[in-house]
Structure 1
């Protein structure tokens, strides 16, 4: 036993001396989810956690921890300032987190361009839906009739998208904010507290509430992305509703986040080799046959976007024309 311990210690010293990333020695890596359990971000986080460890050096166990708050801004702040920078902690946050500091939203104390973006599980299309008892069946009706929707706070799509619609298109969305996660908004719809949800990922709708679609419990009003989803050919696309160059520019900035889909990110200041390890492992995980089979069974869309591509989307957003950024920031102020 003593000889085995000595051999193990010697191996560890040799490995460290060889410069192998810390990720290779760690047996536990923490993946933090910026929302409560049961919602779309949590579902994607957990499926990635089940398979990604096998693609990291040393095959560590990935443990999922939920850290909800302010539409996942709480987690983003923690990853930026507190989390270890050795590759043992990364997270999945709201796609809007990347744009909060750009738009001057309160509570965000990070520079999104300095995060190490690891990758996204899909290029997302979101939707606005109305509960079947609301009497609202089209997006045009929301310009004439108030519609109460639930929000999770901060950079969440559920809070930001209705504000943009009200400011740009004159809709009459009224928000009830502070729900811990999307699943809580769904329960609120069932209880009659709110009439709908705006900024709900279509992939999440299909995977978590297929019965609502089958039984027509919800009406899909509009799709929110730069391009239409093939599932929704007859649902209007928000980009087609812009009537001026300024309106189109605002929509382009706001909905650029959809490319980020379900974004995974790591703290800034990490050694380049450890960032590369996480990005490669994530990319390999997105091709893992077992993950793809489980995702198909769960009706989860897997249309991955690389970490490098996410990094570019964020950088490009911060380079948008100042007048577009200013107008968008004004719309999103409380």
Structure 2
């Protein structure tokens, strides 16, 4: 991207502040748009088998009910380059009539954060109308999981693991770095189009370690656990009120990576490696999935979608139906969504420098 890091951050911060004020004023006094008889394209830059697909397919019918005119909301998939293909396409779309929205995940945020030269999109140009937190669960075949001594993963250090990955600069860097910190020998097979494809590799025996975001774990991996062909290893955790890593509220009986790291002598929960992992975890999971209107969206369109998502979140049955499909995580609109967007698109310079160097040394990935 052409902007310097400092300039980009200032510009992004200013843009999000204006949009937050703009959206808040609009919700109070805007007129909204009527979508009767129209079809809304909800574009997801991943394959139809992953967590983003499950998240979008969950929201699509609810959004259709809540939007004025009850338009048909159709989820469309545009996988490629770990979501960069779809995000670059969305950057080129100008607002028209409110019938295009775009869903992203941490795998869209990370290339942006790292300055990946393939990134041609700018979050400051987009208009966030929903932000969803989530978690993630790492899991193993039962025979390997049983080798752990309680939470100590030392016995797994002699194993050779294969992992289906979208790419080291995507959200997958969180598990890849975590497993390396535990001293595990994990060889990624890069190039899959979505995390659901990684799960399918695990099911076919082509991979023997995997992780899924919570929605995909609940839908796709829980049956494997019940059938005895998979066993959870740990969650990435959740962010506590004071910024500490706590147990994931959707999986309170599973240990966090921090707990496993603390129990494994090779791993440390302090120092620059830990701080880098935590920074990207925070950017990728508590601020994990977002819905955007394209550049140039009108005040009325922002009002319409914000009110519609507010209506969805206010449903009497929302807590129950979302817990089983998405897990127990914050779903945010308005100022809270703007704050989440800022959290998901900024990391400390030290964390970025560590990860950029690690990617170069470990995977030969050059981001200059």
Range into which the TM-score falls when normalised by the shorter chain: 0.7 to 0.9
Instruction: Tell whether the 8 Å contact from 2:179 to 2:186 is kept in structure 1 after alignment.
Output: yes
Distance apart, 1:49 and its partner CA: 0.9
Is 1:119 the counterpart of 2:130 in the alignment?
yes
Deviations 1:139-167 (A, max 9, x none): 4445443311111237542x322432366
Equivalent positions of 1:293-332 (< 5 A) are: 294-295=321-322, 299-301=325-327, 303-307=329-333, 308-316=335-343, 320-332=347-359
Match of 1:173 among 176, 182, 186: 186
Distance apart, 1:184 and its partner CA: 2.2
Deviations 1:208-251 (A, max 9, x none): 23321213321222211333114243423338734324233212
Q: Secondary structure at the match of 1:87?
A: coil
| Aligned position for 1:32 | 43
| Aligned position for 1:5 | none
Aligned residues between the structures: 312
| Aligned position for 1:236 | 256
Equivalent positions of 1:1-334 (< 5 A) are: 21-22=32-33, 24=35, 27-82=38-93, 84-121=95-132, 123-132=133-142, 134=144, 137-138=147-148, 139-153=153-167, 156-157=170-171, 159-165=172-178, 168-198=181-211, 200-225=212-237, 226=239, 227-230=246-249, 231-238=251-258, 241=261, 242-256=268-282, 257-289=284-316, 294-295=321-322, 299-301=325-327, 303-307=329-333, 308-316=335-343, 320-333=347-360, 334=365
Distance apart, 1:30 and its partner CA: 0.8
Instruction: Tell whether the 8 Å contact from 2:276 to 2:352 is kept in structure 1 after alignment.
Output: yes
Distance apart, 1:125 and its partner CA: 1.5
Instruction: Tell whether the 8 Å contact from 1:45 to 1:64 is kept in structure 2 after alignment.
Output: yes
- C-alpha distance in structure 2 between counterparts of 1:214 and 1:166, whole Å: 25
Distance apart, 1:83 and its partner CA: 5.4
Q: Secondary structure at the match of 1:102?
A: helix
Q: 1:112 to 1:44 in 2, by over 3 A?
A: same
Q: What is the aligned-residue RMSD (CA, Å)?
A: 2.9
**Structure 1 gap segments, 5+ residues each:** 1-18
Larger radius of gyration: 1
Q: 1:67 to 1:156 in 2, by over 3 A?
A: same
Instruction: Tell whether the 8 Å contact from 2:38 to 2:99 is kept in structure 1 after alignment.
Output: no
- C-alpha distance in structure 2 between counterparts of 1:179 and 1:169, whole Å: 24
Instruction: Tell whether the 8 Å contact from 1:118 to 1:279 is kept in structure 2 after alignment.
Output: yes
Instruction: Tell whether the 8 Å contact from 2:35 to 2:67 is kept in structure 1 after alignment.
Output: yes
Q: Secondary structure at the match of 2:70?
A: coil
Normalised to the residue count of structure 1, the TM-score between the two structures is: 0.80
Q: 1:46 to 1:171 in 2, by over 3 A?
A: same
Normalised to the residue count of structure 2, the TM-score between the two structures is: 0.74
Moved more, 102-111 or 284-293: 284-293
Distance apart, 1:99 and its partner CA: 3.2
Instruction: Tell whether the 8 Å contact from 2:247 to 2:254 is kept in structure 1 after alignment.
Output: no
Q: 1:156 to 1:218 in 2, by over 3 A?
A: farther
Q: Secondary structure at the match of 1:189?
A: helix
- C-alpha distance in structure 2 between counterparts of 1:263 and 1:28, whole Å: 20
Instruction: Tell whether the 8 Å contact from 1:130 to 1:137 is kept in structure 2 after alignment.
Output: no
